[in-house]
Amino acid sequence: MKVELVIFRNGEERSVIYDYVPREEGEKPMALDVLLQAQATEIPDLSFRYGCRNRSCGLCTIDINGRPRIGCRARVREGDRISAPGTLPVIRDMVSKRDGIARQLRGKIPNMLRGNDLNVEAPEDYHALTACIECYACLDNCPMHQRNFEAGVERRNESRAYRSGNPFSLLKLQRIRLDPVATEEDSRTALEAAVNLGLDACYDCPGCKCGVGIDLKGKVVKPLMEAGEAFSKTV
């Protein structure tokens, strides 16, 4: 089975056609299987990320035919094209630069280590949001995230974080608002952070897609926008 692998080195990309050898008859390999075999046989310096191999860590996200997929759970077919996620700058081959997202909420998340009553049950939506594995598949076609690359220039702040947000950062902030130990001040701080990251970009967006199936529009974006509108009327 021939698969196109996009190799990125020194600012230039080239395609390599790799012929995957099935490990057993009728095998339908995952993208990560293809990358591991290619590295073990023909491209020993092929760079890519992976961790759990069980759709739990989000590290192995790649693009298949231009769409983000979780490498350890996305099946590959004849002629498919595997490349680094197109939503972030590429470091090498399938490895993208994730630090601008990871740094984004530093200093913006309330300190909630003052105590935790385990007898307080969190709402159902809170538990739904904990399924996030930080795969960043939700960045695809996100107008808020795209603001970080307007005119082809990365927009970062003094701490090297992206200035504008994304569905992942909104999810983290909404999860704080749903946390049963969060105070009203915690909730307000999280909401203000969402607004400052560019929540207004979501008004004309048809919705974002999560790599593990979380209803981002219904459980994250819509509640934040409604809360933002209510808050704006009180100030």
| DSSP 3-state of 8 | strand
Q: What dotted CATH number matches 2-96?
A: 3.10.20.30
List pLDDT tens digits, range 209-220: 999 999 999 999
Record the pTM.
0.90
For residue 53, the number of C-alpha atoms closer than 13 Å in the C-beta half-sphere is 6
pLDDT at 225: 95
List pLDDT tens digits, range 149-181: 987 888 998 889 999 999 999 999 999 999 988
SS (H, E, C) 52-95: CCCCCCCCCEEEECCEEEECCCCECCCCCEEECCCCCCEEECCE
Domain ranges of the chain: 2-96, 99-232
List pLDDT tens digits, range 12-21: 999 999 999 9
**Measured at the alpha carbon of residue 26, what is the angle toward residues 24 and 27, in degrees to the nearest 5?**
60
Q: Which CATH number fits domain 99-232: 3.40.50.450, 1.10.260.40, 1.10.10.10, 1.10.1060.10?
A: 1.10.1060.10
